[in-house]
Amino acid sequence: MRALTWHGKHDVRMETVPDPEILNPRDAIIKITSTAICGSDLHLYDAYIPTLEKGDILGHEFMGEVVDVGPKSTLKKGQRVVVPFTISCGSCFHCSKQQFSACENGNPAENQDLGQTLYGEPMSGLFGYTHLTGGYPGGQAEYVRVPFSDVGPIVIPDGMPDDDVLFLSDILPTGWMAAENAQIEPGDTVAIWGCGPVGLFAVQSAFKMGAHRVIAIDHFPHRLALAKRFGAETINYEETDTYEALMEMTGSIGPDAVIDAVGLEAHGFFADNVVDQIKASTFLGTDRPHALRQAIVACRKGGRVSIPGVYGGFVDKFPAGAMMEKGLQIRTGQTHVQKYLPQLLEMIGNGELDTTFLISHRLPLEQAVEGYKMFKNEQDTCTKVVLKPGLELA
C-alpha cells in the first residue's frame, strides 16, 4: 500500500510499504477514506520528539471503511468508522473509569520502559506517534490496523460526510474535554490561549457548556477571525499586553477559567535525544511554557486551569506560588476520546457543532508531503489539511 513515512527532520515521503495484517483477535483493518495532518504531527516533522524510527507511518486522525476483522472484533465489513487516536482496551482499571487515554494495555510491554522512567508510569498506546506510545503505524496511508476495534472506533451513520465527522478522531473531543476540564459555570468568562484546531473547538465547546464570554488569544489574524465567528472576543498578543487586557476585560478579577491550548508549540518537546539525556542523567529538556505561565498568572483566585496543550518535559519558572496562593484547580491530560464520541457525533448530526469550517485544504494522499510543507509554512491560513486516498485534484 501507499503510506506517508517519516525519515528525519522535514523529511517525510510517500512510499510503498507492506499492507497491515490482523495480528490479534480484536483487530480490524480499515481502508482509509479521510485522514488529517495534526499540529502534533508537526512536532514529529520538526524532529522534536524522540523515539521515532525511519520508515514509521504517521497519522493519528483518520477514518474509513472496515475491510477485515479479527474473530473478536465487533465491527462488520463495509461499516464506516472514525477511529480515536488513543488505543484503549476497555477493560483495565483506567478504562473502567472512562480514563481511556490512560489505558494500561494498549502499549506493547517492550515500549513501556522509557515512559515509566520519564513519567513514573508507562505511556499509553497512540497511533502514528513515537515508540514511547507503542510505535503503532498511523493512518496517513491507504490502510491501517486498529487494535481493540470492539472498543475504539465509532460507526458513522450512512449519509454523514467524512468531513463532518473526521475530527472526532482527536481535535474535536480534545477541545471538548478542554472545556469540560475548565468546569465552566453559568456566567463564566473563559480565556483560551491558542486558536489552532483544539482552541477553536474549545471556543465552541465552552459556549455550549454555558460560558458567558470566551476570550481567545493568538497572533494569527485568520485564526482570531475564526474564533470571532463563533462569538469569542479576541486578543492579538503581538499587538496587546495579554495580562493587562484580560484584567481590563474582567474588571481586574481575571477570567474564571483559563485554557492553555498552545502547549509546547514547536519548541523543545525534548531539547535533545531523550535516550542520550537519560544516559547523561540530566533528564528531560525544558518546555517553553509561556502560555501556561501567563494563563496561571491571569486566572482569577479560586479559578480553574485546563491544559489540553501537550507538554513532554519539564517547565522552568513554573508559577507554583500563583497556583497555590490563588487556590487554582488544574486539570489536564490526553483526551479520553472514546468517552465523548457518542455525544459529539449526535451534536454534529444535529448541527450543534460546526466542524467543516476548519478544513482549508483537501489533497490526495499522494500529495501528503506537500501537505506537511504547507501546514508548516502557512499556519495563519492553512488551518487543517485533510488527505484523501484516490482524490482527484479539481
What are the residues binding another protein (CB under 8 A)? 21, 23-26, 53, 72, 89-93, 96, 104-113, 122, 125, 131, 134-137, 147-148
Q: How far is the CB of 107 from another protein (least distance, A)?
A: 6
Cell of 208: 455550549
Q: How far is the CB of 41 from another protein (least distance, A)?
A: 19
Tell me whether residue 122 or residue 313 sits nearer to another protein (CB atom).
122
What letter represents residue 172's amino acid? L
Cell of 306: 485546563
CA separation for the pair 382, 223 (Å, rounded): 10
Given a contact cutoff of 8 angstroms between Cβ atoms, the answer to whether 210 and 185 are in contact is: yes
Quickly list DSSP for 316-376.
Answer: TT--HHHHHHTT-EEEE-S--HHHHHHHHHHHHHTT-S--GGG--EEEEGGGHHHHHHHHH
Q: How far is the CB of 92 from another protein (least distance, A)?
A: 5
| Beta-carbon contacts of residue 295 (< 8 Å; ≥ 6 apart) | 191, 193, 258, 259, 260, 305
Q: How far is the CB of 135 from another protein (least distance, A)?
A: 5
Tell me whether residue 13 or residue 97 sits nearer to Zn ion (CB atom).
97
Query: What is the Cα 144 distance to its own chain's centre?
Result: 19
Binding-site partner at residue 137 among another protein, Zn ion, none, CB < 5 to 8 Å by type: another protein
Of 57, 81, 56, whose CA–CA distance to 67 is shortest? Answer: 81
Tell me whether residue 43 or residue 131 sits nearer to another protein (CB atom).
131
Q: How far is the CB of 167 from Zn ion (least distance, A)?
A: 9
Binding-site partner at residue 152 among another protein, Zn ion, none, CB < 5 to 8 Å by type: none
Q: How far is the CB of 330 from Zn ion (least distance, A)?
A: 22
Binding-site partner at residue 64 among Zn ion, another protein, none, CB < 5 to 8 Å by type: none
CA separation for the pair 222, 380 (Å, rounded): 6
Binding-site partner at residue 111 among Zn ion, another protein, none, CB < 5 to 8 Å by type: another protein
Binding-site partner at residue 38 among Zn ion, another protein, none, CB < 5 to 8 Å by type: Zn ion
Beta strands in 168-221 (DSSP E): 189-193, 213-218
DSSP state of 300: P
Tell me whether residue 34 or residue 149 sits nearer to another protein (CB atom).
149
User: What is the binding site for Zn ion (CB under 5 A)?
Assistant: 38, 88-89, 92, 95, 103, 105, 170
Tell me whether residue 24 or residue 282 sits nearer to Zn ion (CB atom).
24
Tell me whether residue 109 or residue 280 sits nearer to another protein (CB atom).
109
